[in-house]
Amino acid sequence: MSRKTIITGTLILTAANLITKFMGFFYRVFMSNAIGSEGMGLYQLILPIYILTWSITSAGFTTTISRLTAQENALGQSGNIGRIVKQSILLSIMISIVVSGCLFLFADKIALEILKDGRAALSLRLLSFAIPFMSAGSCFRGFFIGMQNAFVPAFSQVLEQAIRILTIYILASIFVPMGLTYACCAAVVGVVLGEFLSFVFVIISYIRFKRRKKMIKKPTFSSFATCNMILTMALPLSATKIAASLLSTTENILIPRQLQLYGQNAKEALSAYGELTGMAMPLILLPSACLMAASISLVPEISEACAVKQNQRISRTVSVTFLFTFIIGIGAAALFAVFPREICYIVYNRQGLGELLFPLAFLCPFLYALTTVHGLLNGMGEQLFLFRNNLITSAITISGIWFFMPVYGMNAFLVSWAMGLVYSVCSCLHKLYITTGVLPDLYDCFVKPLLAGGASGLIIRYIIQISTPSKILFLLSLTAMGLLYLVFLLMLGCFSQENMATFLGKKRKDRKS
């Protein structure tokens, strides 16, 4: 597999990730205006169930198919690839039908006893129809990733997100006047249609691909051997994803419940939860779409360097990865900390939401660093460590929600989440140091971006204070702060020729150590 093919595929997938992130963000902005913060809270209660069903029915199969397809494609065994895809789809659909049936039949119990909101039942029933299409579509996407055809899975992501946006746009005016239950259903209908049309696209693409490539060889694997091989690989991967989803679902279910114990009524608790998870968090996570592209591109670089024990190359790659991580993380933190009310006013037309965005801003560097270090450790094969790390991090957050949220409200969640993030980043950096013997340079990766972010923020904040407030002024100020931040980074030497060459994945002739 050529380096050019890997880079091209990575660029296509990360471009799709950027597009869907931005589409998803503006989708949430429109939803929040259409169905309100309480409606967003109800939708956010349902979303973890959706992610959990994906973890059970799809997550392990996608990765398994991509790995096995790539393996058999390298050996020229197109017959085995066809059998792997068919067996995987059969297994995933069998599992998805069971999960879908349980969700449909027990929607009322799940809504009342687990989510503690009966209005979610109808949306859960609708969601059950999306599960078979989601699982089968994930199998086909795994096939295309394994065949290094990134366009099909990338376009299917964009198509799915576009269908969701179009559906909520069309249905909002019809469903919202009928009440919160039906307003949430409008969003779930978008999910179902998005999964269905995405599935139709990938299955048509699969049939055309097979005909074009003339994949007609007879398989050398028996059906039993293929099934055993798939399950051996897929079950551990699925177990990891399921555990992570269950912990995340627990957090999301507990937050509105514990807010009621704090003294808020059900409507206020759901609205606060919707503002946090459906409005403020998507804002602080939006810049990470750029970081994801860089993180994915650098994983093969450090994996290759570890394999051939090129310590200088490992050190340079780690340092440059974290340099760009903190450039984005600290820049985003400075922007959100300096203009929390203004950003919420521009995006949601709600200045008050800035009070929640302000403390979240200081978590940006840790959130983004966690994305990067997880990518690096995944490239080194440290999945078991990451699984344990995620369990401990979730335990810290859930403990804060359970014990302290009834006393201190939303602040307890923010503090416990911050503690979990700090622990996770520190433990991952320690593991990175044990594995590679290198750590990012604190001055270059943290202090320089911090100085640039602080200086640009103070200057623009001062200009804002002596000017007449308006949306246009705020937008110009945000742009000016971003440009000024880049200028200070250049002055501090963050964008050196060597750093840029490593960041872009360019090979150096002197790479021998």
DSSP per residue, 203-266: HHHHHHHHHHHT--PPPSS-HHHHHHHHHHHHHHHHHHHHHHHHHHHHHHHHHHHHHHHHT--H
Q: Which helix or strand (DSSP H or E) is residue 49 part of? A: helix 3-54
Task: Give the mean model confidence (pLDDT) for residues 258-266.
Answer: 85
Please say whether the beta carbons of 498 and 461 come within 8 A: no
Please say whether the beta carbons of 291 and 371 come within 8 A: yes
Q: pTM of the predicted model, to two decimals?
A: 0.69
Residue 299 shares a structural domain with residue 438: yes
Residue 429 shares a structural domain with residue 493: yes
127 found inside a domain: yes
Please say whether the beta carbons of 405 and 269 come within 8 A: no
Residue 292 shares a structural domain with residue 244: no
- Between 18 and 255, the more confident residue is 255
Q: What pLDDT, on a 0 to 100 scale, did the predictor assign at position 306?
A: 58
Placement of tokens 């503006």 in the chain: 26
| Cα of 255 vs its chain's centroid, Å | 20
Q: What pLDDT, on a 0 to 100 scale, did the predictor assign at position 205?
A: 92
Q: pLDDT-derived band of residue 5, with 50, 70 and 90 as boundaries?
A: very low
pLDDT of 508 > 50? The answer is no
**324 lies in which domain range?**
287-507
Distance CA 467, CA 52 (A): 49
Q: What pLDDT, on a 0 to 100 scale, did the predictor assign at position 4?
A: 46
268 found inside a domain: no
Choose the final residue of a domain: 252, 274, 299.
Answer: 252
Length of the chain: 513
Per residue in 308-337, pLDDT tens?
566 666 677 677 778 888 888 899 999 999
Distance CA 31, CA 48 (A): 17
pLDDT of 412 > 60? The answer is yes
432 found inside a domain: yes
- Which residues, including other chains, have CB under 8 Å from residue 429's CB and lie 6 or more apart? 373, 439, 440
Structure tokens at 244: 């992570």
Task: Give the mean model confidence (pLDDT) for residues 442-465.
Answer: 86
DSSP reduced 3-state for 401: helix
Choose the final residue of a domain: 252, 271, 304.
Answer: 252
Residue 104 shares a structural domain with residue 45: yes
Q: Tell me which residue of 500, 441, 471, 459 sits closest to 334, measured CA to CA.
A: 459
Q: What pLDDT, on a 0 to 100 scale, did the predictor assign at position 99?
A: 93
Residue 125 shares a structural domain with residue 191: yes
Q: Which helix or strand (DSSP H or E) is residue 111 part of? A: none
| Cα of 225 vs its chain's centroid, Å | 34
Q: pLDDT-derived band of residue 511, with 50, 70 and 90 as boundaries?
A: very low
Residue 71 shares a structural domain with residue 183: yes
Distance CA 117, CA 223 (A): 45
Most confident of 98-107, 114-123, 265-274: 98-107
124 found inside a domain: yes
282 found inside a domain: no
pLDDT of 48 > 60? The answer is yes
Q: pLDDT-derived band of residue 22, with 50, 70 and 90 as boundaries?
A: confident
Residue 198 shares a structural domain with residue 318: no
Choose the final residue of a domain: 252, 272, 306.
Answer: 252
Residue 236 shares a structural domain with residue 299: no
DSSP per residue, 355-385: HHHHHHHTTHHHHHHHHHHHHHHHHTT-HHH
Task: Give the mean model confidence (pLDDT) for residues 410-439.
Answer: 88
pLDDT of 513 > 50? The answer is no
Per residue in 179-229, pLDDT tens?
888 888 888 999 999 999 999 999 999 988 888 877 666 777 777 888 888
Report CA-CA distances (Å) from 433 to 313, 427, 437, 439. Answer: 15, 10, 5, 6
- Which residues, including other chains, have CB under 8 Å from residue 452's CB and lie 6 or more apart? 330, 331, 485, 488, 489, 492, 494
| Cα of 126 vs its chain's centroid, Å | 24
Residue 141 shares a structural domain with residue 21: yes
Distance CA 452, CA 454 (A): 6
144 found inside a domain: yes
Residue 7 shares a structural domain with residue 138: yes
- Which residues, including other chains, have CB under 8 Å from residue 163's CB and lie 6 or more apart? 190, 193, 194, 197, 198
Q: Residue 40: what residue type?
A: M
Mean pLDDT score across all residues of the chain: 80
Residue 71 shares a structural domain with residue 129: yes
264 found inside a domain: no
Helix-then-strand count for the chain, H and E: 22, 0
Residue 134 shares a structural domain with residue 218: yes
E-state strands within 21-98: none
Q: What pLDDT, on a 0 to 100 scale, did the predictor assign at position 502?
A: 53
Q: ∠429-432-433 over CA atoms, to 5°?
A: 90
69 found inside a domain: yes
The torsion region of residue 505 among left (phi > 0), alpha (psi -120 to 50) and beta comes to left
The total number of structural domains in the chain stands at: 2
